Structure 1
């Protein structure tokens, strides 16, 4: 037998987590490539929701996509045309102090190539 101690006290939980302050989403959030094309060319729509209206910037880990910043706090989306062969991480940051508010990842997935069926019998089989 064990002794269980239950401690009831005053605990504070900070409700200002990143998920509650801002949300960033990508539509679509993945792209399929095939054997013919090793890259993905896609029109991507990034949308965000903020608790407090503020000017934001979107940065990515892909070199060909420049930093985008809003000039109006009522703007809640941006459309990008992207050509890539690897995953891209997008980060929503505050324009004033460069603090990270939210992030989303565009995933690039290669479609499985069709496999050629192999004959199980040898061509010279007599049966």
Structure 2
């Protein structure tokens, strides 16, 4: 009986959970780029998502260098960036005090010159 009541309560509460939508945040995917070695330029195609915005013009900045300004309905969703180090992508507008930003990281896959020992140098037996 208790399980039946619990199931009914869960079913009644489920639609209210589905209605609550989390607000969209400014984000970039993927936010990591992998290059062969340090110093190489990494080309990172990203997909951007934006929060709900007002009608004023918004600008994208990477490391405080402007990429461009657009009205909210014309903001690009796909960008191709060239990175050589970790960078910060920021969405700024004239009326916003807080500007949302995303950290874009550059990682290297250069092989390590340090070799790990396969066998321990000592033994108990």
Q: Is the pair's TM-score, using the shorter chain for normalization, greater than 0.5?
A: yes
Question: Taking CA–CA contacts closer than 8 Å with sequence separation of 6 or more, which of the two structures ends up with the larger relative contact order?
Answer: 1
- When you count strand as a share of all residues, which structure comes out higher? 1
Unaligned stretches of 5+ in structure 1? 1-19, 121-127
Tell me the equivalent position of 1:106.
104
Unaligned stretches of 5+ in structure 2? 1-21, 119-125
Tell me the equivalent position of 2:69.
69
- TM-score, normalised by the number of residues in structure 1: 0.57
Compute the RMSD of aligned alpha carbons.
3.2
Give the Å deviation of 1:103. Answer: 0.8
- TM-score, normalised by the number of residues in structure 2: 0.57
* Contact 2:38 2:108 (8 Å CA) reproduced: no
Matched residues, number: 97
C-alpha separation in 2, matches of 1:36 and 1:58: 26
